[in-house]
Chains A and B, each alone.
Chain A
Amino acid sequence: EAGVAQSPRYKIIEKRQSVAFWCNPISGHATLYWYQQILGQGPKLLIQFQNNGVVDDSQLPKDRFSAERLKGVDSTLKIQPAKLEDSAVYLCASSLGTANTGELFFGEGSRLTVL
């Protein structure tokens, strides 16, 4: 079974530039999450989708971050304009849904460096 796919793996940009990350979840997984992991910290949820609807985006800095999940499958996370403090690994995860064990399966992550 294919895992969660993410791209790009690495991205270096200057502050005030924009960047987009892509995620393809495990086939059949209805729930998709974007987490931000700053070096030395645990992952922090940015946004959660159930199919193509947003369930929780309370921690998403909406003035600069946006995310969408068209057709309930792939998702993109965009940052515009980027700030230095956005340097982090952006992890995409998917799960079958809350009715099951709720276990999240993570992708390899997209490492962003903002200069």
Chain B
Amino acid sequence: ELKVEQNPLFLSMQEGKNYTIYCNYSTTSDRLYWYRQDPGKSLESLFVLLSNGAVKQEGRLMASLDTKARLSTLHITAAVHDLSATYFCAGRSGNTGKLIFGQGTTLQVKP
């Protein structure tokens, strides 16, 4: 079955810095999803990547997908405190459409 692994699991960074979160998955997944979760809150959809080479950007976040390498990245540009949250990637498994989530990456942006 599809397995999804993220790294790092925890990331502490200074405001203004850039960093990348990596999401590897074990078997074919035709699409990849990124979600954000604030403490005590539910999951908010950030990006849906539907094909190889897909790149999407929203504000300081940019996500990309390489299906051949089974890798997606979430790049953070010039981090600000408001981006502090836990970020999950998820791959779609099989024909049922169920999403398999990674462990999450907790991002802490310090002033």
Residues of A within 8 A of B (CB): 31, 33, 40-45, 48, 55-56, 91, 93, 95, 97-98, 101-109
Per-residue CB contact flags for chain B residues 40-64 toward chain A (1 = under 8 Å, else 0) read 0111110010100000000000000
> In the complex, what residue of chain A is closest to B4 when comparing beta carbons?
A42
Q: Which residues of B contact A103 (CB under 8 A)?
A: 33, 45, 48
Q: A-B pairs with CB below 8 Å: how many? A: 59
Q: Would you give 14 A-B contacts (Cβ < 8 Å), ordered by A?
A: A31-B97, A40-B104, A42-B103, A42-B104, A43-B101, A48-B98, A55-B96, A97-B97, A98-B96, A103-B45, A105-B45, A107-B42, A108-B42, A109-B42
Report yes or no: A41 in contact with B48, Cβ–Cβ below 8 A. Answer: no
Report yes or no: A45 in contact with B50, Cβ–Cβ below 8 A. Answer: no
Residue in contact with B101 in the complex, picked from A42, A48, A98, CB distance below 8 Å: A42
Q: Give A95 to B43 CA distance when docked, in angstroms.
A: 14
Q: Which of B93-111 contact A (CB under 8 A)?
A: 95-104
Q: Which residues of B contact A97 (CB under 8 A)?
A: 97
Q: Which residues of A contact B50 (CB under 8 A)?
A: 101
Q: Flag whether B92 is at the interface (Cβ < 8 A).
A: yes
Report yes or no: A104 in contact with B104, Cβ–Cβ below 8 A. Answer: no
Q: Which residues of A contact B33 (CB under 8 A)?
A: 102-104
Q: Give A41 to B33 CA distance when docked, in angstroms.
A: 17
Q: Give A40 to B10 CA distance when docked, in angstroms.
A: 11
Per-residue CB contact flags for chain B residues 1-42 toward chain A (1 = under 8 Å, else 0) read 000100000000000000000000000000101010000011
Report yes or no: A91 in contact with B45, Cβ–Cβ below 8 A. Answer: no
Residue in contact with B96 in the complex, picked from A41, A48, A93, A107, CB distance below 8 Å: A48
Q: Which residues of A contact B43 (CB under 8 A)?
A: 43, 91, 93, 104, 106
> In the complex, what residue of chain B is closest to A105 when comparing beta carbons?
B45
